[in-house]
Structure 1
Amino acid sequence: MDRMYRVLGFWTGIFAIMLYLGDMEKTALLFLGQTGFFVLLSYLKLSERMYMYVFAAYLTVFMCGFTYYTLFLMPPGGGLG
């Protein structure tokens, strides 16, 4: 299970690089933070159950943040034109 967190760290790192190259610095920093979180977590040698609990908590925080952003911060119409 710890290798899966390294894979998540790798892909969030790739996203951070691509976002930075696309002039989206704030989002790139967010993904860079996630990369560090996943890579550090992969070296903790936790039990598989604990890795699942941490991932469930991560998804819960993500969905709460995403819902808050889309409901209260995103401009009407999704920012399209």
Structure 2
Amino acid sequence: MARMFRVLGFFTLAIGLMAFAGNMVEMALLFFVQTAFFMILGYLKFTEKTYIVLFWGYMIVTFTGFSYWTVFKMGLPL
């Protein structure tokens, strides 16, 4: 399971580099922070249950933040 977090770190790094190349600096920084988070978690020796709980927590925070941003910051088209 720890290897999966390193894979997530690799993919977030790839997305961050593509965002940086496309002059989307804020998005790139967000993905670089996620890369560091996933790579650190990938090298810690947690149990599989702990990794699953961490992933679910990450998903809840991410989807809550995404939903908040799309509804309240972007606004609904009229």
The gaps in structure 2 that reach 5 residues or longer are: none
1:30 aligned partner: 30
Whole-angstrom CA distance in 2 between matches of 1:22 and 1:76: 26
- Which amino acid letter does the alignment assign opposite residue 31 of structure 2? F
- Which amino acid letter does the alignment assign opposite residue 34 of structure 2? Q
Q: Secondary structure at the match of 1:53?
A: helix
The gaps in structure 1 that reach 5 residues or longer are: none
Correspondence list, 1:47-62, <5 A: 47-62=47-62
Whole-angstrom CA distance in 2 between matches of 1:44 and 1:35: 15
Whole-angstrom CA distance in 1 between matches of 2:24 and 2:33: 14
CA drift of 1:76 comes to: 4.0
Whole-angstrom CA distance in 1 between matches of 2:68 and 2:8: 24
Off by >3 Å, runs of 4+ in structure 1: none
TM-score after normalising by structure 1: 0.92
Correspondence list, 1:2-81, <5 A: 2-77=2-77
CA drift of 1:60 comes to: 0.1
How big is each residue's C-alpha offset from its partner over 1:18-60, in whole Å with a ceiling of 9 and x where there is no partner?
A: 0000010000000000000000001111000000000000000
- Which amino acid letter does the alignment assign opposite residue 54 of structure 2? V
Aligned pairs, how many?
77
TM-score after normalising by structure 2: 0.95
